[in-house]
Amino acid sequence: MWQSRPELNTPEGIMALAMAFQRSRTLLTAVDLGVFTALSSLGSDSGEPVASTEVAAKIQADAKATDRLLNALTALGLVRKAHGLFSNTELSELFLVEGREDYLTNLRHSSELYRAWGSLTDAVRKGGCLDEAATPIQDEEWTASFIAAMHRRAFKSAPVEVRKLNLHGVNRLLDVGGGSGVYAMAFAQAKAGVSVTVFDLPPVVRLAEDYIRKAGLSGRVSTRAGDYRSDDLGLAYDLVFFSAVAHINSPEDNKQLMRKAAAALNPGGRIVVLDFIMEPDRVLPERGALFALNMLVNTPAGDTYTEEEIASWLLEAGCRDIERIDTAPGMAMIVGTLPAE
C-alpha cells in the first residue's frame, strides 16, 4: 500500500508535497465524523443520494461546513454529487463505511498519528516526543483503534511471512507484544500442535482474546498479560517472536529485551525480529526513514534500525547464527539462534 514520493523536479512539485496534508486531512476528518457511514445509511445502503443537511444532522455537525466538506470529498473522487445531492463512490462504499468487511480500520489510527505529527517541529528541537505518555495505552478507544490498525496491516501478510520460517522443532512459541494475536494465529495455523502464547499489556490482551475467539483459535492460542520491560518472559520456549516491537524501544532497551528473550528459550531456540530494516546510511527505505520520525513524535526513545544493529543485540544475547529473511520491501526478519548446548 505504500507509495514512494513523486519526483521533485520543479517548485510546483515542492509545493504539491507541502500542501498534500490538505487531502489527507480532508479524508481523515470525514472518517472521524463518520461521513461515509452516514451517506451509506441515509441512502439505505443503495447509494441513493442525500442532501448535505441530512448528513450534517446525522453526524451532528454544522450544515454549511458539512456541505463544504462533502464538496471537497467530491473533488477528491471519494463522493459523488449530482443535482446538489451526495452519495458514496463504489470505492468509498466498500472501504470507508464502518461495518463493511473491507473497512479500512487503520484510518482511525492514521488520524491519531496526524495529530501527533503536528508536534514534529518541537520534537526535533527537543530531541524527543513532547509527552512521554504519547502512546496512551490506557485509553481504551485509542488502544482498540491502534490494535485494529495493526491487525488489518498484518492480516494478509502474517500467514505468508511465518511460512518463510522453518518451524521444525518449534513446539512452544511466544509472541511478545503480539497485539491482536494476528501472528500468533498465523503460527498456530502454519504448524499443527504448536503451543502459541501472546504476551502483551493487559488492555491489549483483552482485545487479543476477542480476535482469537472470533478466529476460532481459543484452544490453540493463549494469552499472558504483562509488560516486557519489567516482567520476565517465561521459560522453555523454542521461538520468541517480535513483530513491530524493536522500533518502539531504544537500542539499550532492545538489548535488554533480547537478553530476556534468550533467557526464555530452550537450547537451540530462536529469536525472530520482524521490522523495518534500514540501509546503513538510514535514508532507505523511505518508509522506514519517515517511520523513524513517527517514533520521534510518538515514543520516548523509539527508532528504526539497521540489520547490523539488530544482529548485534542478538549476538550480545548469546545467539550464534544470524540470518536475514526478507519479507516486504524494506522489511525483514532477523533471526538469531542460540547454541544447541
238-247 residues labelled b (16+ CB within 10 A) or e (exposed): bbbbbbbbbb
Residues 6+ apart with CB under 8 A from 30: 36, 69, 73, 78, 96
All three cell numbers of 103: 473497512
Residues 6+ apart with CB under 8 A from 192: none
| DSSP letter for each residue of 320-334 | -EEEEEE-STTEEEE
All three cell numbers of 82: 449530482
DSSP, collapsed to helix, strand or coil, labels residue 250 as coil
Has 83 been annotated as catalytic? no
For residues 79 and 73, is the Cβ–Cβ distance under 8 A? Answer: yes
For residues 223 and 234, is the Cβ–Cβ distance under 8 A? Answer: no
Which of 83, 109, 168, 247 is the catalytic position?
Answer: 247
Rg (CA), the chain: 22
Taking the C-alpha atoms of residue 320 and residue 316, their distance in angstroms, rounded to an integer, is 9
All three cell numbers of 207: 482485545
Torsion of CA 4, 179, 314, 339, to 10 degrees: -130
| DSSP letter for each residue of 161-207 | HHTTS--TT--EEEEET-TTSHHHHHHHHHSTT-EEEEEE-HHHHHH
All three cell numbers of 136: 496512551
Q: 57: burial class by Cβ within 10 Å (0-12, 13-18, 19+)?
A: middle
In degrees, rounded to 5, the angle at the alpha carbon of residue 336 between the alpha carbons of residues 161 and 295 is 65
Catalytic residue positions?
247
